[in-house]
């Protein structure tokens, strides 16, 4: 049975959030050329169906305290099932099968292979003479291109990369090796230690990775050298 125009538009709204990450009603209305009243109707419908939920947006340290921001709409687990989990379920089943056949090492190798491929894609960032901050911004652009809707923000004495969407969240929740290998790839591309603070796969609203500033990293290295001498 063919879908009606409202149903098609509603699916388009959901797909936009799935692929682009959390978005406000105003952002969605502008992106999809829908009136504010129209976007609200579709959002209300998707929320009632359990496909979307509304929450406060993730705020980096530079944005905190600037007044109450608009709510953003995010995809629920059941919403992801509707759109993407047929593929995810196959991937999880395949990895579980590998692990059950005494092949847990194969799962680790798969995670590493995937991370190696991402590192290859980030080789230009890795080999550049840019600062860590500039590399972090370039990495966020690469992640966005790969479907992670990433951004950067100042955080304390470093940078924070925020991934507002994770296309493999369902698989990574079952196999954290994927997140661990991905974090190591970030470190290799940026040429510095990084720390994963939160992941969508573990139930957080956003994946966040802290990257210490070059000054902070040099200070740590000096302390380590002093301790060895």
> Which tens digits make up the pLDDT trace of 146-184?
888 899 999 888 999 999 888 888 888 889 999 999 999
Number of other residues whose CB lies within 10 A of the CB of residue 137 = 18
* 59 & 77 share domain: yes
Cα 193 to Cα 98: distance, rounded to the nearest angstrom: 31
Return the CA Rg of the chain.
20
H or E element at residue 151: strand 150-155
**Structural domain harbouring 9:** 5-83
13: confidence class by pLDDT, cuts 50, 70, 90: very high
Answer whether residue 53 is part of any domain: yes
**How high is the pLDDT of residue 62?**
47
Q: Which two tokens stand for residue 137?
A: 């911004």
Judge if 99 and 170 occupy the same domain. Answer: yes
* CATH code, domain with 217: 3.30.1380
Q: Are residues 63 and 94 in the same domain?
A: no
What token pair was written down for 31?
């992106």
Burial profile 63-94: b = 16 or more Cβ within 10 angstroms, e = fewer: eeeeeeeeebbbbeeebbbbbbbeebeebbee
Cβ proximity of 131 and 192 under 8 Å: no
- Which pLDDT score is estimated for 25? 94
Q: Is the pLDDT at 224 greater than 70, yes or no?
A: no
Which of 66, 83, 100 represents a domain boundary (last residue)? Answer: 83
The per-residue pLDDT of the chain, averaged, comes to 84
Domain count, the chain: 2
Please tell me whether residues 89 and 65 are part of one structural domain.
no
The per-residue pLDDT for 36 is 92
Q: Which of 83, 116, 150 is the last residue before a domain boundary?
A: 83
Same domain, 163 and 92: yes
User: Of 188, 210, 185, 182, whose CA–CA distance to 197 is shortest?
Assistant: 210
Q: Are residues 92 and 191 in the same domain?
A: yes
149 and 75 belong to one structural domain? no
Instruction: Please measure the distance between the N-terminal and C-terminal CA atoms of the chain and give it in whole angstroms.
Output: 75
Looking at the predicted structure, is the pLDDT value of residue 219 above 80?
A: no
pLDDT digits (tens, 9 = 90+) for 28-68: 999 999 999 999 999 999 999 999 999 887 665 444 455 56
For residue 182, is it within any domain?
A: yes
Against a cut of 0.75, is the pTM above it?
Answer: no
- Scanning the structure block, which residue is given the tokens 């956003």? 206
In this structure, the dihedral spanned by the alpha carbons of residues 116, 120, 123 and 124, taken in order and rounded to 10 degrees, is -150
Of the CA atoms within 13 Å of residue 63, those in its CB half-sphere come to 11
Per DSSP, the three-state class of 223 is helix
Quick one: which of 109, 160, 114, 167 has its CA closest to 139?
A: 160
Whichever domain contains 62, its CATH number is 1.10.10.10
The answer to whether residue 105 sits within a structural domain is: yes
Q: 79 with 90, same domain? A: no
Which residues neighbour 180 within 8 Å (Cβ) at sequence distance 6 or greater? 111
Instruction: Say if residue 106 is in the same domain as residue 209.
Output: yes
Same domain? 102 vs 9:
no
- Under 8 Å between Cβ of 1 and 7: no
What confidence score (pLDDT) does residue 2 get? 46
Model confidence at 78, pLDDT cuts 50, 70, 90, reads: confident
The CA distance from 131 to 120, in Å, is: 19
Do 125 and 205 sit in the same domain of this protein? Answer: yes
């Amino acid at each position: 049975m063919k879908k009606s125009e409202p149903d098609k538009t509603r699916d388009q709204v959901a797909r936009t959030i799935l692929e682009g990450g959390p978005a406000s009603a105003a952002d969605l209305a502008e992106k999809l050329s829908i009136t504010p009243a129209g976007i609200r109707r579709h959002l209300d419908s998707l929320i009632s169906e359990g496909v979307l939920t509304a929450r406060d947006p993730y705020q980096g340290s530079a944005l905190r305290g600037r007044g109450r921001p608009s709510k953003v709409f995010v995809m629920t687990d059941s919403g992801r099932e509707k759109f993407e989990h047929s593929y995810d379920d196959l991937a999880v089943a395949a990895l579980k099968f590998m692990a059950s056949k005494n092949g847990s090492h194969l799962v680790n190798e798969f995670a590493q292979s995937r991370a190696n491929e991402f590192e290859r894609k980030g080789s230009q960032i890795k080999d550049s003479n840019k600062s860590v901050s500039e590399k972090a911004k370039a990495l966020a652009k690469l992640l966005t291109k790969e479907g992670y809707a990433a951004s950067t923000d100042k955080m304390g004495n470093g940078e924070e990369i925020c991934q507002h969407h994770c296309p493999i969240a369902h698989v990574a929740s079952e196999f954290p090796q994927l997140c661990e290998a991905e974090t190591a790839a970030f470190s290799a591309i940026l040429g510095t230690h990084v720390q994963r603070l939160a992941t969508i796969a573990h139930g957080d609203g956003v994946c966040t990775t802290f990257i210490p500033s070059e000054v902070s990293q040099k200070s740590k290295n000096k302390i380590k050298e002093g301790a060895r001498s």
